[in-house]
Every structure is written in structure tokens, then in C-alpha cells.
A and B are shown apart, each in its own frame.
Chain A
Amino acid sequence: MKILLQHAAHARSGDKGNTSNISVIAYAPELYPLLKQQLTAERFKAHYAGVVNGNVERYEVDNIHALNFVAHDALGGGVSRSLCLDNYGKSLSARVLAFELEVPDALRSHLRGI
């Protein structure tokens, strides 16, 4: 089944200068391999097209079943220079929750909000 990522993971964004980091944390360990397989750095960057202009690095944090994406040139030149109302990019993490994830039906019970 195809679902939005929000049913499989939660996310938080943080800022450092013009770089945003967005963590994606699986709701259950069983869902984490799906994130690793499907949410690549390349797809992440494509999903943030128009906002993330630099490289995206992906760190796998297996002990907490999380991926940490570091997106460069993502905050309109930096928190103080950005003309975006959300200049810290605090709401940027919500965008990844709209990523489409393919989940085997057998894992349905681990999903939230479905």
C-alpha cells in the first residue's frame, strides 16, 4: 500500500546558518528499513525542490531508527537574511511527511493515523 510518510514516521527540523537538518524517525523499528530503502538523499532533495538548493547528506542513526538529513543552502541565505516568514525553517520538517512510502500490508498495524 502507498501511504504518506506521516503515518510511518515523525520529523523535526533544526537550523544552523543556511543549513537545515531534518530528522525522520520511524514510529516502529519494523518501519525503519522502509525509510532507509526508499527515502534516499536524492529523493529527499527532489521532494524539497525549490527550497533546498545545496547538497543533501543522509545519516543513518540505527540506534534510534532514524535518518538525519542535512540540507545545505536551504534557509534563504541564512536565518537572519531569509525573507521567508518561517526564517528558521521550523516547518520544513512537515514537508517530508508528504513523501509517498510503499508499505507492505503486513506492517499496517505499525502505522499511525490510519
Chain B
Amino acid sequence: MSKAIRIGAGSAWWGDRIEPAALNAERGDLDYLCFETMAEATVSAAQVRKRRDPGFPGYDTYLDDRMRAVLPGCLRRSTKIITNQGWINPEGAAQRIVHWLRHFGASGVKVAAISGGLITDRALELTSTILENGKPTSTLADSLVSAEVYLGAEPIVDALKQGAHIVVSGRVADPSIFMAPMMYEFGWDALDHRHLGAGNGIGHLMECGAQVTGGYFADPGFKEVPNPWDLAFPIAEAEPDGSVVLTKVAGSGGAVNLMTVKEQMLYEVHDPANYITPDVVVDFTTAKLELVGPDRVRITNIGGKPRTPTLKVSIGCIEGFIGEDMFFYAGPGALRRAQLAKRILEERFKIVGLQAEEVRIDLLGLNAIHGPMSPKDQPEPYEIAVRVAARTKTREEAIKVGREVDGMAVSGVGMTGKRVPHQDRTREIIGVWSSLVPREKITPTLSFYES
């Protein structure tokens, strides 16, 4: 019987902090360090950027920073790394990692790149229906920029079996990145849904990093978190039977307790009895949670059901633009001046013929975040930002938002605070749609590099 393995989180998204990854590498005593760096639109955004800037390598823009921070610790402890930092260029990322391995004097370390999930050219023949609206995927033909399959843990396990010490992929389902080491080390079969269910359940708890160690959690007076400026990323002590203790490096900030684990268990989950992943359908409703020590939560009995015959495909489309800006009021009467400013903007948009699918003018401090749910009987705030945004088909129309806000400087309301624009106030919208593809149509490929 193999013993428990220690799996640490290195990131939960592209912009995540890097010091907690280094902390896990240095002091986590890890067998595996796993990185999740992709959001829903990451692949499409990378494709759009690559089109405009051929010099963009196509992998995580923080790859260098992350590898520099964790490789020394990982090499010393022989910690293996699983990461989806490859985005649209896993081979390029693998070669870059080899560069850093050599930089740190490590030779003979095997790095595997996983490809085969990008199906942009074949997306419309392989898929039929858009899950969100029931329409045929062919309706996306004109706007499609990228399509990728959510791969599971199997190709990562194959790479480990072939001797990889570091595995870098493009899109892999987030929990699978963390489950692959369990599958490999404990010899779980790809159809062993009981163990894989537990494994991807643990993976789900790990994939958002600090969200299970006290991040996205603190609420003073209700839910306290010690040293929230120094949160660690989680460590899973995974056991061959699919149970786990979640913890973090001793002495770090944050908290691992029943409340943080419960919140993360349901995060981005719809039916908790049927959480669909590429490897297995996870059932969280059978899980048992127990606080077994300071910052130590033991989770047993997460369930699993057989995997579905399909894999999820994410289809990114160019859909238009958003123009956005804001300006400010303060002091007695801030609200009445903000309301007049809103009226002026509404009239100005008519005068300049703004062609928009939707326009939104918020009074930040009053109703910008919760919109129509905000109470009607609030006291007047001392300060208000007027924030305006419009969604348009063309960049030319989106630019009008910022240009009309510019007009509010000298042609607007009394006592208006306004920034001089230093940045582009428009951005491109990459809409993401989902579909399904039969799993047998997708064949991941591995390529190996060595330092």
C-alpha cells in the first residue's frame, strides 16, 4: 500500500500571488506542486493577442516569474510540477522551463508538454449545439477565434509514467491538474469512478488556491482570518483510499477550517451531487468533514459516478467592444450633481448617435454593484463616482463613451472631479460559449524535452 502524498497549490489563476507558491516549494515538503493559471477566456484572449503580436510566446506571461520562484525549492526536494501554463503553446512553455532548469544547474530533468486540446479548425464539425442557448454551433462561424477541449488527468498521468518530472499543458480541467498525481501514485484506473470522484473532489478544493485557506472569506466580526496579508496556498495530504487532510505551511497567515472548506466545496458548483469533470462525475453530498487539528481539515467519502461520454469544449468568439470611464462628486449635493451628470450623458449619447447594444450609467457608492437590488431609502453618500459603460459592435462606437466623459470636464456639472485619461478606455469582448464533443474524437499528444 503506497503512503500519502503531499500536493501543494502554486496558483489559482493567472494573476495570483507568487510568494505563496515559493513558500509551498520551499517549506511545503511537497511531492507535487500544481499550477492553475487559466480563466474561461484565457485561450481565446491569447489567440487574439498572438494574431496581433506574433512575438507573444502564447504561454503564461508569468511563467518566468513562477518558475524562478519555485524551481530551486522543487529541485532540492525533488518535487514534481504539474501546470497548465502552456495556454496555446505548451511546447514553447516546456522549452522555456528547460531553459530555467539549466539556469539553476539541473541537468537530465524531463519536461513533458501536452497538446491536442486546441480544436479551433475542427470545432464546427466536431460540435453541434451551444449549451447556453441551444442554437447550432455553426451560428458562431463568423466570430469564432478559438476552441479548446477541457482535457482530463489521463494525459498528465501518461506523461508521469513516461518519466516526466514537470508536465505543462494547455487547457486541462482545473481539478484534474491536482488529481493526476493521485491517479499516478496510487495506480487508480481511469474508469475507477469511486477513487477518481474523491480525487477530483479534492482537486476542486485545491484548484482555487487561497480560497480554501482563508482568501475570499474574511468578514470582520463574523469570519475572522489571522494575518490575511500573508495567506498561504493549500496543501493536500492525499491518501490512497481517496481521503485527504487539507492544510497549509505552519506559521503562515490564513485559516483552513470547516467553513473555508465548505465554501470552497460549493464554489462554482451547480448540482453538488453531479459535478461533471472530464474524468468522473463528483458527488460532494456524501463527503464528511472533520477538523482534526489547527488548520487541518480531514475530508473523507467524497463520491464519484462514471464519467460522461463527452468532453466540454469552450468556444471563444469576438463579439464587440466595451467602452468605459468614470468621474466623481463629493460633499453636500454630490447625489444631485451626479444625477444631473447622468442626464447630460444620456442626452449626449443621443446627440452623438451612440450605437450601443446596452448602456449602463451607475452611481458608484449608491447602486453600481448590486444595481436594482440596492435599497431605495439609503442616506446620501458623501462621495459618488459616475461610472458609464456601453457595449458596442465597433471600437469607434465604444470610444464615444470616453470622449463624452472627457466633455464632462469643462462642459459638464459644477465641482466635477475627473481624471485625465492615460489609458485605452475600450476593450474587446471575447464571448465564451460551451459545447460537447465525443471523447473518442480527441487525442492528446505528448512531447518531451530534457534539461
Contact among A47, A70, A85 for B387, CB-based, below 8 A: A85
CB closest residue in chain B, given A52: B373
**How many pairs, one residue from A and one from B, have CB atoms within 8 Å of each other in the complex?**
125
Contact yes or no, A86 B369, CB < 8 A: yes
B216 touches A12 (CB 8 A): yes
**Residue total for A at the interface (Cβ-Cβ under 8 A):** 42
B268 touches A14 (CB 8 A): yes
| A65-90 with Cβ < 8 A to chain B | 66, 68, 70, 77-81, 83-86, 90
Given A18-B132, A113-B221, are A91 and B268 also a contact pair (CB < 8 Å)? Answer: no
Contact A21:B262 (CB < 8 A) given known A83-B390, A85-B369 = no
Q: Which residue of A lies closest to B284 (CB)?
A: A61
The reply to whether B289 and A83 contact each other, CB–CB distance below 8 Å, is: no
> Is A83 a contact of B358 with CB atoms below 8 Å?
yes
B132 touches A17 (CB 8 A): yes
Q: In the complex, what residues of A have CB within 8 A of residue B269's CB? A: 14, 21, 68
A18–B371 Cα distance when bound, in Å, is 16
Q: CB distance A66 to B432 under 8 Å?
A: no
Q: How far is the CA of A16 from the CA of B271 in the complex (A)?
A: 13
| Inter-subunit contact A6/B222 (CB<8 Å) | yes
B216 touches A85 (CB 8 A): no
> Contact string, B358-386, partner A, CB cutoff 8 A, digits 1/0?
11101010001111110000000000000
Please tell me the size bucket of the interface on B. 35 or more
**Residue A42 is within 8 A (CB to CB) of chain B in the complex:** no
List the A side residues contacting B284 at CB < 8 Å. Answer: 61, 63-64
Q: Which among B262, B359, B390 has the greatest number of chain A C-beta atoms within 10 A?
A: B262
- Cβ–Cβ contact B287 & A63, under 8 A: yes
Measured CA separation A112–B413 after assembly (Å)? 45
Give chain B residues whose Cβ lies under 8 Å from the Cβ of A36.
none
Question: With contacts A50-B372, A85-B368 known, is A23 near B263, CB below 8 A?
Answer: yes
How distant is A25 from chain B, measured CB to nearest CB, in Å? 5
Supply 13 A–B pairs (Cβ within 8 Å), ascending by A.
A16-B268, A18-B132, A21-B270, A23-B266, A50-B373, A57-B270, A63-B289, A64-B266, A70-B270, A80-B41, A84-B371, A112-B222, A113-B222
